[in-house]
A = this chain, B = another copy of it.
Amino acid sequence: MNPAPIPEFMRRAIALATENVRSGAGGPFGAVIVHEGRVIAEGANRVTQENDPTAHAEVRAIRAACRELGVFSLRGCEIYTSCEPCPMCLSAIYWARMDRIWYGNSSADAARVRFDDAFLYREMALPAAERSVPASMLLHDEAWESFQVWLDTPNKILY
């Protein structure tokens, strides 16, 4: 992997973001995923157009890259995103085992244009009991059974 960024990949992510606004397709966010020096997938925000609150640029690019490569791990890949990932997208990048993130706008910039990224980062860092969306445990002993079945299952596919 090349440790230096390739500015043209970021320009492509930014162009996706800008075009996405101009076309009315969604918010000002675009991302590309690079593998071995080549763009293998692109994504732009489609939350409103697809009625999918998870359809952020990075999540869509990750899904597309995994489809392209036929894998569920993007180890060895980098993401160029026009804005610093929100916690959902950052976590998706971790789950996809990606190597590196390059971003254009910051989460603070996103907050300036009234996206909730900075708020979400604050919420994630709070103890669960202090978050604004209440969350409570229910039927813990019964729920553990599904984990016990997982533990007892041989030859499962780990991820």
A interface residues (Cβ-Cβ under 8 A, vs B): 5, 7, 10-11, 14, 17-18, 21-22, 24, 27-30, 47-48, 51-54, 59, 62-63, 66-67, 70-74, 80, 82-88, 90-106, 109-110, 112-114, 116, 120-121, 123-125, 128, 133-140, 142-147, 149-151, 153, 156-159
Complex CA gap A52/B71 in Å reads 8
Contact A147 B109 (CB under 8 A): yes
Given the known inter-chain contacts A21-B156, A53-B159, A94-B116, please indicate yes or no for A134 contacting B100, CB distance below 8 A. Answer: yes
Given the known inter-chain contacts A10-B143, A142-B11, A146-B30, please indicate yes or no for A104 contacting B137, CB distance below 8 A. Answer: yes
Among residues of B, the one whose C-beta sits closest to the C-beta of A117 is B91
Residues from chain B with Cβ under 8 Å of A142 in the complex: 10-11, 14, 104
Residues from chain B with Cβ under 8 Å of A17 in the complex: 143, 146
Contact A51 B70 (CB under 8 A): yes
Contact B28 A146 (CB under 8 A): yes
Complex CA gap A114/B151 in Å reads 10
**How far is the CB of A152 from the nearest CB of chain B, in Å?**
9
Residues from chain B with Cβ under 8 Å of A106 in the complex: 137, 140
